Structure 1
Amino acid sequence: MNQAPEPQHYPDDEIDLRELFATLWRGKWIIIAFTIIFAAAGVAYALYKPDIYQASALLAPAQDDAGGRIGGQLSGLASLAGVNLGGGDANKTVIAKETLQSRAFLTDFIHRHNLAVPLMATKAWSMNSGEWIFDEDIYDASAQQWLNDEDGQSQEPTDWDLVKQFREQLSVSENKDNGMLTVSFKSLSPVAAKDWVEKLVHDINEHMRAQDVQEAEASIAYLEDKLRQTNIAGMQQVFYQLIEQETRTVMLANAQREYVFKTVDPAVVPQEKSEPKRALIAIVATMLGGMLGVFAVFVMAFIRSGKEEASK
């Protein structure tokens, strides 16, 4: 006779939802305590953070109607003459964008406009008086000098520190579809944010203008020297044309107010803060507290069950 197969028993690995909810209910006060503590800490942190304002300027690459510093018909002859005439407007715009974020340019910009103190030694901005509130542990505003730390070392920031802090507050983004550039700066002061963006746009235009004028004047001096050394009428004509183009470059560079970037939408003093998102900080802190409370209840329940099984 065939024997009936014995029923097989499998371990029950399924989660008992009733036990799960019962565990959470027993630890409800722990969850509530975690949630309240984290919510209070989140609100306190959000209120402690100062308001930060962001000013932005929309820029467009300035197009040279003449099509660059030299026409295509002369570029080959200029290369033979040993003159580097550079690239077109697109290349100039790329160089200007990278220069705007370069360490050398930003270091010179910070020192030229005396931004080291408002950048590194302030803790707030007074809306009533329109003045910076300085950190008295770092900078003595009355004596206008940097203070020493506990080890006796001066807290005056290095150029590296200044550029690092400035880059954290500076944002340069490009719209790949139309080539528009957005320069933004975040600051405790809405006035300073707008003012520094304007100065950045002005200084990068002046920097690129001075650079191109200097290169053009050097090319003119070189071409005039070569002109004096040749008696070939054809080459003399080429040199005259190149000198004319370089002279025209100097004239156009000095005549254009916005040399590389034209301001489409200028920076204005922001009326609303961009940071911090206080409501979001409080919500995230509350949710984090609740999740940690649930985690703590489960850990405690797991430890308790382990001890009960060990005691049996």
Structure 2
Amino acid sequence: MSEQPTYNAASDDDEIDLRDLFLTLWHGKWLIISITLVFAVGGVVYALMQPNQYRAEATVAPATEEQGPQISGQLGSLASMAGVNIGEGGGSKTVIAKQILQSRAFLSDFIRRHELAVPLMATEGWNAETGEWIINREIYNPETGEWQQDEEGESLEPTDWDLVKRLRGMLSVSDSSDTGMITISIESQSPVAAQQWVEQLVADINEHMRQKDVAEAQSRINYLRNQVDETSITGMQQVFYQLIESETRTVMLANAQNEYVFQSIDPAVVPQEKSGPQRALICILATMLGGMLSVFAVFVRSFVRSLRES
């Protein structure tokens, strides 16, 4: 019996608090509506100003090596005796190729080889009707082929660091642990450029790895030939000749394979649907942010008024 009044008093306090909160929000309803509306309109304007982005992607698989691992197993001990490393398995080669594909040196050379500095750093958008980039003339002059200068007279020509940073922001390389497939994708304002750059990346990394392995194999062949000339032991000469044959086969197989490291399973195509921006989500988030900030502003205003009155 004695606890009942205390319970009712607590309930009355809660009811009063809720009523006060509701009255505070009701009195500040126009401030809430105004701030929320401003954020909503700002979100719509910002979303509409964002250019469309298109994602092109290619699915590749590690190219199989039919004879490489078998030869390595047969001649591994002989190669160790001669002080020669005759290569690694296909799995490790794929891992190396993935790392090289995203490396600064490879991407910098890729940008220079395909002349991508202007598309990456001096464009405002893509003209779908003409199929051409919209050049920002405040950064680059297409007539003279020269980069503009800033207010201090410094050239706006981007450095390799800037170019690689921009391309890395557009590039994505991911693999599936279940299937072993690798997805290489590029997101750009130009659907055509996105598709072309993905194709060029796959072709270039295959060529890069081919040239690298051929150069290393040729270097080992030259070394082994020198060892043959320097030794008079018939048994060691036979070992060297076997290793030379193995390295020569490596060079032949490398030159015979167009898809040396990555084999295309699903080549990149020109995307017809945009991948971003998500304009509806931007508008919703902006409106929600405005609503939360407006409610916070109303409570702050009410708190300040209560302090002044007290």
Deviations 1:2-61 (A, max 9, x none): xx9xx99x9997571111111111110000001110000000000001111110000100
**Counterpart AA for 2:203:** H
For 2:27 and 2:221, how far apart are their aligned partners in 1?
A: 87
For 2:240 and 2:13, how far apart are their aligned partners in 1?
A: 90
Higher mean alpha-carbon deviation, 227-236 vs 295-304, is at 227-236
* Matched-pair contact (CA < 8 Å) for 2:141–2:148: yes
| 1:25 partnered with 2:26 | yes
Name the residue aligned to 2:288: 287
Name the residue aligned to 1:193: 194
Q: Label 1:39 to 1:294 Cα distance change in 2 as closer, same or farther (>3 A).
A: same
**Counterpart AA for 1:35:** T
**Structure 2: tracts of 5 or more residues without a match:** none
* Greater helix fraction, Structure 1 or Structure 2: 2
For 1:129 and 1:94, how far apart are their aligned partners in 2?
A: 40
**Counterpart AA for 2:195:** K
Q: If the length of structure 1 is used for normalisation, what is the TM-score?
A: 0.94
Deviations 1:166-193 (A, max 9, x none): 1011111111222211101011100000
For 1:221 and 1:279, how far apart are their aligned partners in 2?
A: 63
Give secondary structure in 1 for the equivalent of 2:71. Answer: coil
| 1:213 partnered with 2:223 | no
Name the residue aligned to 1:37: 38
For 2:110 and 2:55, how far apart are their aligned partners in 1?
A: 19
**Counterpart AA for 1:259:** Y
**Structure 1: tracts of 5 or more residues without a match:** none
For 2:275 and 2:98, how far apart are their aligned partners in 1?
A: 24
Name the residue aligned to 2:76: 75
Q: If the length of structure 2 is used for normalisation, what is the TM-score?
A: 0.94
| 1:123 partnered with 2:124 | yes
Name the residue aligned to 2:105: 104
Runs of 4+ in structure 1 over 2 Å off = 10-15, 67-71
For 1:69 and 1:128, how far apart are their aligned partners in 2?
A: 54
Query: What is the 5 A alignment of 1:258-297?
Result: 258-297=259-298
Name the residue aligned to 1:54: 55
* Matched-pair contact (CA < 8 Å) for 1:69–1:245: no
For 1:13 and 1:209, how far apart are their aligned partners in 2?
A: 79
For 1:67 and 1:114, how far apart are their aligned partners in 2?
A: 36
For 1:249 and 1:290, how far apart are their aligned partners in 2?
A: 66
Q: Label 1:89 to 1:73 Cα distance change in 2 as closer, same or farther (>3 A).
A: same
Name the residue aligned to 2:225: 224
Percent identity reads: 63
* Matched-pair contact (CA < 8 Å) for 1:69–1:249: no
For 1:159 and 1:186, how far apart are their aligned partners in 2?
A: 20
For 2:187 and 2:210, how far apart are their aligned partners in 1?
A: 27
Name the residue aligned to 2:136: 135
* Matched-pair contact (CA < 8 Å) for 2:72–2:86: no
For 1:170 and 1:125, how far apart are their aligned partners in 2?
A: 18
Number of residues of Structure 1 aligned to a counterpart in Structure 2: 304
For 1:84 and 1:176, how far apart are their aligned partners in 2?
A: 29
For 1:49 and 1:212, how far apart are their aligned partners in 2?
A: 44
**Counterpart AA for 2:220:** S
Give secondary structure in 1 for the equivalent of 2:252. Answer: helix
**Counterpart AA for 2:171:** L
* Matched-pair contact (CA < 8 Å) for 1:93–1:260: yes
